[in-house]
Structure 1
């Protein structure tokens, strides 16, 4: 599993988990911003970015368990787990399976919208969201997607669609920040608000002038929201 550590104060530790088809590289700017507050670990999930594919595809629940086991020794005081898109499903599973490792949770563009839980609808919404995006977002996205084999992508998409985030939200004990880009077509506002409402200690905020790929376009507003939220928990 490929990991990039961005040095900062020893606590808090931020763990950044990307979405389907992406890799830790999409978090470069966010990691640099958050490093002013704490230590940052950005990971490539198995089969994405620079991490090799394992022998078999793993469910999101199994992926979360593996990440928790791999990072437990690095997180004696827990961490702020930040997930984007499919990454929100994985960090939510970590929060449920290993609450001892989670001091706070950040769900950016949580998936999968229960009203559009099919592969064709998800792909269509992703393409709609990218329409009119900046060249930087498009180039970074294309570069990351070329690192993932089509078969692996399809397998993980199947697991992503089979996992129902809303079913585990009530079991998340950690304070949680739910973020949505105001122009996100993949994660509609009613769906994202419903996710926040199901989590016992959650706050919902929207990122102005951003779509689904909010962390790629400009990290500063996202980092400011995360930092303010973490500071409020201290």
Structure 2
């Protein structure tokens, strides 16, 4: 299957893929493509089940949509490209950057989320579309695409109504099953996350969580726009794209807005420590410990671990040294976290050698014992100490 696509710009220019939202087609990106095609070979595409792309039978997931994009790159003979996606397109972009990092150069994620519950809402929407077509939900969708009072003209409604019902419904079901949160720490592409200030479909807080979890990501908010920011504020979105693709430092990384600090901290905490550990901590929280749990989520995870001065890997190495010195009961937890952050068993051993010199052999000896048990439980090979 080859996705329907439109190519603009010089044949020898760097390639920029543009992926659209649920219920959109290549016309979503018309204005940004005109501006960006002066410098880039801009490839706009329709997701499967959208626009003029095929509507294959069966159940899909976001990985299927991502593999469609990889097939499109192969079809075009492109080894590596920039990627920008809005909403569903951004979800596909996160999957691509995590699972095919060698194909993604720079990444821009617009008005999107890594996890968008409740699943029942998406399944109900899919059922409604299959029963009554896109017309049955058009008014509700359009109301969230743009801010009140903004007149987009008739084109967006026609674009939505032109989407195949089965394709739209299948993508709703894919979003219902999607959870990309564990993929975010694996994204190595320089990433810009863009939210729209008045987006009710995917509020800025969800974009902030992505920016807080993707290593080194930047975060920017477009004012005066709702969910389809690329249509309502194409000037602002295009400017952010152009600067990011050119390698400029765009947006904010060190300071996630205060209102989203807890949410951003929880996202990083889960990415580093794992859902199982955090779920246990949340379940054990009571009135006596609630303020403490909020404190460490907002400040340890939402303030320090989200900063871009050090990477996650470096923070894990430092944390291991300090916890080994303190003979903390949390040392094993952070051994597992370090592995998630790309630290090797050999590097953990080097850290503990440093601990032995500067904090004492007994502390290092105890930490080596805990580390060996923890690494063995995770399947990592270690040599006898």
Following TM superposition, the consecutive aligned residue runs of length 4 or more in structure 1 with deviations greater than 4 angstroms are: 112-118, 120-126
Bigger radius of gyration among the two = 2
Q: Distance in 2 between matches of 1:134 and 1:62?
A: 35
Query: 2:103 aligns to what?
Result: 101
Output the TM-score relative to the length of structure 1. Answer: 0.89
The CA distance in 1 between the partners of 2:25 and 2:145, in whole Å, is 19
* Paired residues, number: 233
Contact 2:147–2:224, Cα closer than 8 Å, also in 1: no
Q: What are the equivalent positions in structure 2 for 1:112-123 lying under 5 Å apart? A: 114=116, 118-119=120-121
Any conservation in 2 of the 1:126–1:185 contact (CA below 8 Å)? no
Structure with bigger strand share is: 1
More helix per residue = 2
Deviation track 1:104-124 (CA, whole Å, cap 9, x = no partner) reads: 111000136646554269986
- Go from structure 1 to structure 2 and tell me whether the alpha carbon gap of 1:70 and 1:77 turns closer, same or farther (over 3 Å shift): closer
**Range with bigger deviation, 46-55 or 110-119:** 110-119
Gaps of 5+ in 1: none
Runs of 5+ in structure 2 lacking a partner? 126-136, 250-385
| Alpha carbons 2:24, 2:160 under 8 Å: kept | yes
Give the 5 Å matches for 1:218-233.
218-232=233-247
State the structure with bigger RCO (CA 8 A, min sep 6), 1 or 2: 1
Match of 2:21 among 12, 19, 22: 19
Return closer, same or farther for 1:129/1:31 CA change in 2, 3 Å cut-off.
closer
Deviation at 1:160, TM superposition (A): 1.0
Normalising by structure 2, what TM-score? 0.56
Rounded Cα–Cα distance in structure 1 between residues aligned with 2:60 and 2:76: 23
Match of 1:161 in 2: 176
Distance, in Å, in 2 between the alignment partners of 1:171 and 1:113 is 16
Q: 8 Å contact 1:13–1:75 — kept in the other structure?
A: no
The more displaced of 106-115 and 222-231 is 106-115
**Residue deviations 1:66-101 (CA, integer Å, cap 9, x gap):** 221231353645111111001111111111221111
